[in-house]
Amino acid sequence: MRAIDAELIETIFGTRSASGKDPLANLNDEQRAAASHVEGPLLIRAGAGTGKTTVMVRRIANLVSQQFAEPEEILALTFTKKAAREMKERLEQQLGRETGKRVVTSNFHSFCADLLRRHGSAIRIPEDFSILDDSDLLTMLARVAQSHAICSPQDTTTLRAILTRISAYKEEGLSLDMVPSTDHAGLSAQLRADPPVSQDVLLRAWRELDALKRAASSLDFGDLIVQATRLLRRNPRVRAEVANYRFIMVDEYQDTSPVQDSLVRLLARGHDNVAIVGDTDQSIYEWRSARPEIMQNFPATWTNCRVITLGKNYRSTQQVLDLGNRIVEPLRRQDGLEKSLTGVSLGHAPVFRCFSSKIEEARWIAQRIAASVEAGQKPGGIAVLARTAAGLLDVKQALARAGLKTVQATDRAILEDPATKRALAGLRLSENRRDFAAFLRLASDLGASAAEIGRIEQAVVAGRDTIPEAATRLFRAARPMSAEAARWEALHLRLDAIVSTRDMGSVPEAIREIERIFRGDTEADLPAALRRVCEAAEPFARAIDFLEALALDADFRASFTEDRIVLSTIHAAKGLEFEAVYMPGLNEGVLPSARALATPHGRMEERRLAHVAITRAKSELVLTAEKGAESSYLAELGFVESAKKTVVKRAGRRLRRAF
């Protein structure tokens, strides 16, 4: 009885959480210092494998168990929905399910989307807005370009350059009305490699694209954070709501853009209890406007900021870490950072091999993996990581010939499947009947002509009708019994059928019904990709929530199993770990990428990519290259005597070796 009472008292008043777990137990000195920090700004420099997620979870648990905060007063922001889900699961394990669920965990875009759905009407954003992806934006801009004589709608190079420039301005925190009529020096440096687009053309395209998006009740990814910051600045009621978050933690801060940093500062207005976690060695998204210098400068911009460095790696052997340290040492030296990952175990030296061709390289990798599996290694503990998806194809084929199963780390093919794209566009239109981008995706399947699409666009932009209403009105306006009337009747009936699926009993049922509307076959089995989408939709009560989850976390992350070798790009492998990692294609122009090296940030980012790939390995690391075209990194790592000087021509052109 005494023991039970003591345990209860410790749970209520002491350091033990409601689940009975001490939040500071089994941490090293640096981890404990970070997890026990309470008030004031905190920067946690957390290298690969140093337990950053553990520290974040333990710090939140400590704040709750020590009664510094209620769970609802803590906001934890991540960069992906997957990371937010993992953190929520670990909080529930640490604090107990009910308490852990009360902590607010989200990724940046989901947090902003939720804020806008609940309060966006204050700045004229409807609750049912759609979230456009890059493909939607390109399609809508092409229509704008044609109707307003901006450029040819087939000139995708110029269209993409315009979208890149617009996106970069938004990542700077600038909306259209804040952008000057002449370009300014603050625009992300990488854009200077884009095809030239005059500021006048850019602003005209942006203005007309925004008008079409407003008419279609649609936002893109960049809009979510820009508009959320605008909402917070303009609306005292919303500011008062977010002021309830007395403690804010943000993961992966090395990938923060200026507008995301501004959002964090707005959320922390009134207090400085902001803890950020990150590792500039793993900043690999500068091409997406990430700014590692924001994290670097955090101590200078937040008064009395405490800095704690986690340097003990619990994942990899020291031999692996030595390579990881060496490849980013020039960057650490440049930034004035004295840090180095140290391991807790020793292992085998990393292996390097050169081959006369990619086919020979792939065959050797497959043979080595087959031998490892034969010796008892689990296939699921092996990964092949390449700079690009194309760099995995030869190895994938060689593994298949060796009878070994593989799985892609992410599967974009599911969302690119025609049936999937059609069904999801229909689902979007049922939720937002002004979603012109969704209508454009459906237009060919609906049998809509270019003229009919144009007339519906006019009606939507004029704000008179929703898309189904426009089709119905145009049908009624057509001459009775004419071919035109028949076409409009067929179109409006199918559109009405699509939007009526909103009343179906579940999201998967609505998806199946949309597919039946187009296929006209109620008994046929769904395509495999669409079945996967229906399975993913099962947990969602509302279609709008499912569509938002897809839009903000668009890759279907594969289910890893013990019997399949993982194939992944380096970017997609970030955050993962494997017993054995193979890195094929370590050739100059591939890693480092010739295209990336042509940009201002590429030289540094390619080193970080190599660091990320190396530090995915726990115990075995195998590097391979084509003979005579070895990456200059291999010389730095001591695998080749000297790097041959290589002249890299433009991206996509052949490399010429200079002797």
- HSE-CB at 605 with a 13 A cutoff on CA atoms is 27
Name the H helices within 377-417. 393-401, 413-416
- Integer Cα distance of 323 and 309 in angstroms: 20
- Integer Cα distance of 248 and 260 in angstroms: 13
Q: Is 425 known to sit in a ligand binding site?
A: no
Q: Which residue has the tokens 């091409």?
A: 287
Q: Is 52 known to sit in a ligand binding site?
A: yes
Q: Is 96 known to sit in a ligand binding site?
A: no
Apex 277 CA angle, 272 and 278, nearest 5: 135
Q: Which of 422, 420, 428, 439 is nearest to 502 (CA)?
A: 428
CB atoms within 10 A of CB 196: 8
Q: Is 51 known to sit in a ligand binding site?
A: yes
CB atoms within 10 A of CB 521: 9
Q: Is 50 known to sit in a ligand binding site?
A: yes
Cross-strand bridge partners of residue 406: 565
Q: Own/partner pairs for 65-72, CB < 8 Å, 24+ apart?
A: 65/11, 65/14, 65/15, 65/16, 65/17, 65/18, 65/23, 65/95, 66/15, 66/38, 68/38, 68/247, 69/246, 69/247, 70/102, 71/95, 71/99, 71/100, 71/102, 71/103, 72/102, 72/103, 72/104, 72/244
Q: Which of 48, 585, 607, 582 is nearest to 327 (CA)?
A: 607
- Integer Cα distance of 282 and 298 in angstroms: 17
Q: Which of 278, 263, 274 is nearest to 303 (CA)?
A: 274
Q: Is 47 known to sit in a ligand binding site?
A: yes
Q: Is 82 known to sit in a ligand binding site?
A: no
- HSE-CB at 552 with a 13 A cutoff on CA atoms is 30
Q: Is 410 known to sit in a ligand binding site?
A: no
Peptide bond before residue 592 is cis, with ω within 30 degrees of 0: yes
Q: Which residue has the tokens 């069904």?
A: 423
Ramachandran sector of residue 156 (left: φ over 0; alpha: ψ -120 to 50; beta: rest) = alpha
- HSE-CB at 259 with a 13 A cutoff on CA atoms is 27
Binding site, annotated residues: 46-53
Binding site, annotated residues for ATP: 46-53
